Amino acid sequence: MQVSVLASGSKGNAVYVEMDGVRLLLDAGISATRIKKGLAAEGIDAASLDGVLITHEHRDHIAGLVTLSKWYELPIFTRRATIEHMSCRSSIPAERFHAIEGAFCIGDLTIDPFSIPHDAADPVGYRITGSSRCTLATDLGFVTASVQEAIDGADVLVLEANHDPEVLKHGDYPWALKRRILSNRGHLANADAAWALVRMKKRPAHVFLAHLSEKNNTPELAENTVEEILHRQGLDIPICMTAQDRAVHLH
């Protein structure tokens, strides 16, 4: 399995997963040029992608989708409500879209979307299972019981660690935005990400901490917070920090 977090953060998100001969892009929230170059740096032609999985319709997850769909005739998989709420929907041929509900297959992989609590039309995370399992869970206000169940069993987990609540509360964001981020349909705090890892029955081999806020977090703070909680619980789980401006890879 190969996982490359091409970009992660409030300015744009895109994750590449290759497993059992199937190549997938999870979200296209950065420019198509960046996606193309990021994949090419790994020796991958973007035209060889088997599909694009979209988590929700916010711009930082779909910004490159129109150009990507013009350059390559790639199938786009997401919830029907997400398609309907996409600002760019009319710029993408209708036949590219594939509305999803439950689990479905692409090649030898089973893709299982699961609902996440976020302020979007019908947002999801994705559990991708083949010879291994990779799970993406970002943009969620808190870890529900169903999300906790969905992330369990992941060999590789991409998990949000968006902010430190105290940094956020004392920062310069307007109160309405602070309240949104802190809400049950906002973004996941560092400590909440750590406790989600603690509760996992099977420990993942690798964890990417993703969607870090540029204003209300730092990679050092997120990593230290998570690792301190894991250490106190007697757990040692490899942590990898993602970034907004560069790709982070696992081969």
Structure confidence at residue 209 (pLDDT): 98
- What is the 8-class DSSP label of residue 46? G
Residue 4 near residue 240, CB atoms below 8 Å: no
User: For the purposes of burial, counting CB atoms within 10 Å of the CB of 16, is it exposed (0-12), middle (13-18) or buried (19 or more)?
Assistant: buried
pLDDT mean for each 10 residues of the chain (251 residues): 97 98 98 98 97 98 97 97 97 97 98 98 98 98 98 98 97 94 96 98 97 97 98 96 96 68
Question: Is the whole model's pTM more than 0.95, yes or no?
Answer: yes
- Strand duo 76-78 + 206-210: pairing: unpaired
The two structure tokens encoding residue 74? 């790639």
Sheet holding 109-115, edge to edge: 104-106, 109-115, 124-129, 133-137, 156-160, 206-210, 239-241
The two structure tokens encoding residue 14? 């895109």
How many domains are there within the chain? 1
CA 99 to chain centre: 19
Structure confidence at residue 148 (pLDDT): 98
Structure confidence at residue 215 (pLDDT): 95
Residue 132 near residue 94, CB atoms below 8 Å: no
Domain hosting residue 71, numbered range: 2-250
Q: Which residue, 137, 120, 119, 151, is CA-closest to 211?
A: 137
Structure confidence at residue 105 (pLDDT): 98
Which stretch of DSSP H or E encloses residue 77? strand 76-78
Q: Which CATH number belongs to the domain containing residue 115 in this structure?
A: 3.60.15.10
Structure confidence at residue 15 (pLDDT): 98
